[in-house]
Structure 1
């Protein structure tokens, strides 16, 4: 969790919404209804611009949309394969983990998205009782009821190999990112015990501020779970198992499926 999401808005629209400069250029992604780990994605960052000599201007910050790879590769990693295992980071322990603590101190970002997918797992029902004998996984899609863009807390890191074949393959290095997760709040816990760390718009500035204090106490203040009030603005709907395959990528993945197709349906006031 979070292992899949949808991001369909144009970079220019996201730039307006997040008051950012679109720096994705030709690398901007097309609408993606099934964003999966290791894909190139769009994130929002805020940095001090650098001069021709690479020195940052401490008096100026610039917010921009950037293209990165989903799956954080620690700066000390020998190769980028570690990123496939680091698509999420637990907010409760992120300041302690060597792979994440440097990034969370000064390299925070936002993952803009339409919504995220989560799978509710149910115990297997024996065939003798009319079941399949296998556990079921019913996917749900969670989004803002009014269609606004969700902003997930994330961190990013820069990795560059020193020499060899990897240096030839990644001459400019690799920028990667991961989503922060927290305990599920309210009715969302009926689907899964974890959820992405959703940030309300009034928290974006503090989260993106590259000069925020790097000590654990200050960073922890930014890692609190979303409020029940924010969660109450979300809607959840059961969607087709087609989303299980990354090969499927179309608007129909977001459609609510009929009640008689829902495996182990749950009762939620948030269901759309």
Structure 2
């Protein structure tokens, strides 16, 4: 986890919910089945220059972090998740933990529960969009263009989710979002804080089994998140 999620709410909803000041160009279309390396919306609050006030932005980013020192964009394919236990010390993620923290909006995410040789997909969601703790980086392409990329932090699963999969994304509660985004906050302390309350942040989420179609990254549509056997 997290290897597939849903972000189908319109950008206008995200602007209101996350108190966005500016919206970037080329935001991705709604998707009910987002795999790594896709373009996804993220919320960032870069360090302001001089005495300018902070500006919270909604931007499009490639899911799979590509650090500034990378030789090739392909390194991001294996960096779509970052383990919260080691992110602050790993060269791939440590600079982003310090000063480039993001929120990754999501309507919910999918997880597969293993039963012998079978895997059953579940959909985990709230009543409105939630936010994953994310990291971001800028990478300069060979043609001189800049690529914004992101990774989702994970932690040990809690509560009902621990019976489905051993890992879950770090969900950031609304009360913690400002501190997590603030680049002047100590990054390691901010990480410890969101991980410490991650179990509470997922406690009110709903879980239900969905159909196997979601396993195919080419599948799309709201029916992917419908309960397999509705009551």
**TM-score tier after normalising by the smaller chain length:** over 0.9
Shift of 1:64: 1.1
- Correspondence for 2:3: 3
Distance 1:139 1:41 in 2: 22
Q: Match for residue 68 of structure 2?
A: 75
Question: What stretches of structure 1 move > 2 A for 4+ residues in a row?
Answer: 218-223, 225-232
- Does 2:167 match 1:194? yes
Equivalent residue for 1:66, pick from 59, 62, 73: 59
Structure 1 residue 21, shift from structure 2 partner: 2.6
Match of 2:125 in 1: 143
RMSD: 1.6
2:202 aligns with 231
What's 1:109 paired with?
102
- Partners of 2:159 and 2:79 in 1: CA distance: 26
Q: SS where residue 76 of structure 1 aligns?
A: coil
Corresponding position of 1:100: 93
How many aligned residue pairs are there?
231
* CA displacement at 1:57 relative to structure 2: 2.9
Deviations 1:152-190 (A, max 9, x none): 0000001114xxxxx12xx22211000000010111100
Decide which of 86, 96, 100 is 2:79's aligned counterpart: 86
Say if 2:111 is the partner of 1:118.
yes
Change (3 A) 1:220 1:47: closer
CA, structure 1 residues 38+238, in 2 after alignment: closer, same or farther (shift >3 Å)?
A: same
Alignment correspondent of 1:251: 222
Higher Rg of the two aligned structures: 1
Q: CA deviation at 1:219?
A: 3.9
Structure 1 portions without partners, runs of 5+ = 50-55, 124-134, 162-166, 260-271
**1:257–1:22 Cα change, 3 Å:** farther
Structure 2 residues not aligned, in runs of 5+: none
- Alpha carbons of structure 1 residues 220 and 248: separation in structure 2 relative to 1, 3 Å: closer
Cα offset for 1:220?
A: 4.1
Contact 2:40 2:62 in 1 (8 A): yes
Matched residue, 1:158? 138
Moved more, 250-259 or 86-95: 250-259
- Mapped pair 1:19 → 2:7: no
Q: Deviations over 1:206-251 (max 9, x none)?
A: 000011124x4x2443342445443331110000110001110111
More strand by proportion, 1 or 2? 2
